[in-house]
Structure 1
Amino acid sequence: MNRRVTVIGGGVIGLATAYALVREGLAVDLVEARGSLASATSFANGGQLSYRYVAPLADAGVPWQALGWLLQGESPLRLRMRLDPAQWRWLAAFVMACRHTVNRRNAAWLLELALHSQATLARWREDDGLQGFAWRRNGKLVAFRTARAFAHGREHLLEPDSQQVLGAAELQALEPALADAPFIGGVFTPDEEVADCHRFCQRLAERLQASGLCRLLLGRPVTGWVRRDDEVLALELGSEQLDVERVVLCAGYRSPGLALPGMKLPIYPLKGYSLTAPITAEHLAPQVSITDYERKIVYARLDQQLRVAAMVDIIGFDESVDARRLRSMHRLAGETLPRAADYERAVEWAGMRPATPTGGPIIGGTPYRNVWLNLGHGALGFTLACGSGERLARMLG
């Protein structure tokens, strides 16, 4: 009989972990607090699988740059200080991580994990026939509005042998949708990808249910742990108990609230926003993924929809949609790509990214011999999900 692993969390990280475990031949119970899977942070994220653009936000000079953003009326970053020691600790640790040496070390680790994740998704697609989630290898264009930013982009190429540095005319030749856009140049990376994270999660859930090795326990929030010394014996699910052999915590930004004594989970939610606008025959939507470097806005075509994502709000655990932030996104997207989609019919969304101060996820064991962690992926959850899940599965396999 297969040993059973209990995965807490039904977002893209929990589902990818469960899928990787099942591929290893392990039985899985996936426990999700909500009544549906991938209905929070994984529901409508940016859609870009930017495997080569994973450098952490924490870097030298970022705190001063962030202060400049905070003085802007439509800043990509918003900070609201709260009477919350967790927020203060996270911000202090973030500032401490804003050093070139720390950034380079973490960026190298994230790049290695990201490329492993890209290769893992390729195997799942090819070996398992996993499809139906708007996946495309369409390339990523980082576009610049100012000469200074463009010069910085040219000087810091990730893969000089494969990346293309393009002027304004070359941008428009590559992507006709940019004919009216105010970009003076860009850097194009052809091997980057896009996909719909929510649809990907749905396909994983279908495969898990068909495997005969996975039980999906939805609408079952974890309310406590039953433990003895350094071992967890069961999870409390309200008035019920679920006996466990091994547990993987993948509950995103809610994970600190589930931490056992002795676990340090330096995770804080960074709220982001997106618009999902329909594309019809009259529109000129971009085929490549676009990142507006100065405004920190990303655009990704997912079949007949355009996903526009932006903003970082460090404001606590408020999941509500801020109408002012979304009005700003509508206006900025309409200015930059006015003919790309029907923004008036866009579906609006906000999600909480579970971020560590260093930008690197936490993958591995805990002081408890049968409890592991796979969390803290920030804005890179979809990008890193497959590789993180496979690594965790190999630890338990």
Structure 2
Amino acid sequence: MTERVDIGPLALLLMLLLLVTAHTARIAVAEGPKLEVTVPNSPDPYDIRVVIEGPGGTWTFEGRTTISLSGVTSGTYAVRIYYRGYLVATRVVAVNRENVAVEIGIPFVDVVLRAVDLSGRELSGRLYAVAEPRDAYSELTVTGSSIVIRRALEPIAYSLYVEWESPLYVRRASLNLTEPAWSLRSRGVVKLPVGDLTVTVIDKQGRGIGGAQVRIANQLLTTAEDGKAVLMRAPLEYKGEPVRYDLEVTYMGYVLYRGSLTASSTSYTFTVTADLRTLTVLVLGESGQGLQGARVSLLREGNEVGTAFTDAGGRAVLENVIPVEHFLRVEYKGLTQTIRLTPQALSGEPIRVVLPVYIEIGGAPLSSLQFHLLIAGLASAAAAIAVLSVVLVRRRARKLRVVGPIY
């Protein structure tokens, strides 16, 4: 009696094996040219994917750095290399009856950038940077003003964020860049929106006011003769927005301006127009003549805040006078006069100061009263001298009596 064996499942398994073997033989062992692709510098083969596309079809290989494709049809093949899912290299290969071997490296580059301000000066200290995508480079380091991205993929576009904080002004500046690694590498520098913020204090005529105090970003600056004060290396923009600064400008203790300003990479110069006055003083004598060389002093709260001397016409000019109450003191050859000035008196009209000077004799000033008294005194003295002279003449005549001849 013959035993019957059920070979249905076994036959099915053999047929599937034959189909797979036939397909593999057509790709790898069929006769004809051979195409070999090598990826030499991958740190981890499991991050590699190679895609070959040509006349015979499309083949994909995962986790392999060496691929041998035999029995390929003659023609042009496109070889694409993917690293961690990013397309990093493409090569077109012509296969024509002979074996072809190509080596396609992963284009790693080190990107070195210097952080600078708008004037090209290096920014070091509180510098921070981050790049995305994070898995497309090995590490990012910040040292001083240098930003280094190690083993970046040359064709991949990176989003780079750089931030710098001023240790003096407690303000931050930042910048976003999106560029391929090769472009960042050729750039070499990252210019952050940091620059010199300038505040100019002028009067109503546009003239600079020197000596004004500018308080900004916890700093106290003093304007130069041209009225300028400069806040060096000030952050101007942060996360795409302008940076705001509180500003106070004073002159001789008087607040000229108190408010704020908003700076940006295109706007970092500001002008404060101060409400200061020009005081003109005319120092005259009793006859309206100008007194040259008189010392004119301006006092506020007992302190002398301005000094000038009169010219040949008796005119003295004091610039940049703040519109508050002052006292004006005029001194001329021992004569002194002090008057009170209200803010309304500083309207621009000359202040006239008349001193009791009618005439000067031997450099000594005399008022009209003193002069007339002097004249009267001289006249009295002359009359007295004349009377005395007559009296003396008469006395002498009495003593000299004439005696006639004696016979």
Give TM-score, length-normalised by structure 1: 0.18
Q: If each structure's helix is expressed as a fraction of its own residues, which one has the higher value? A: 1
Give TM-score, length-normalised by structure 2: 0.18
Q: If each structure's strand is expressed as a fraction of its own residues, which one has the higher value? A: 2
Bigger Rg, structure 1 or 2: 2
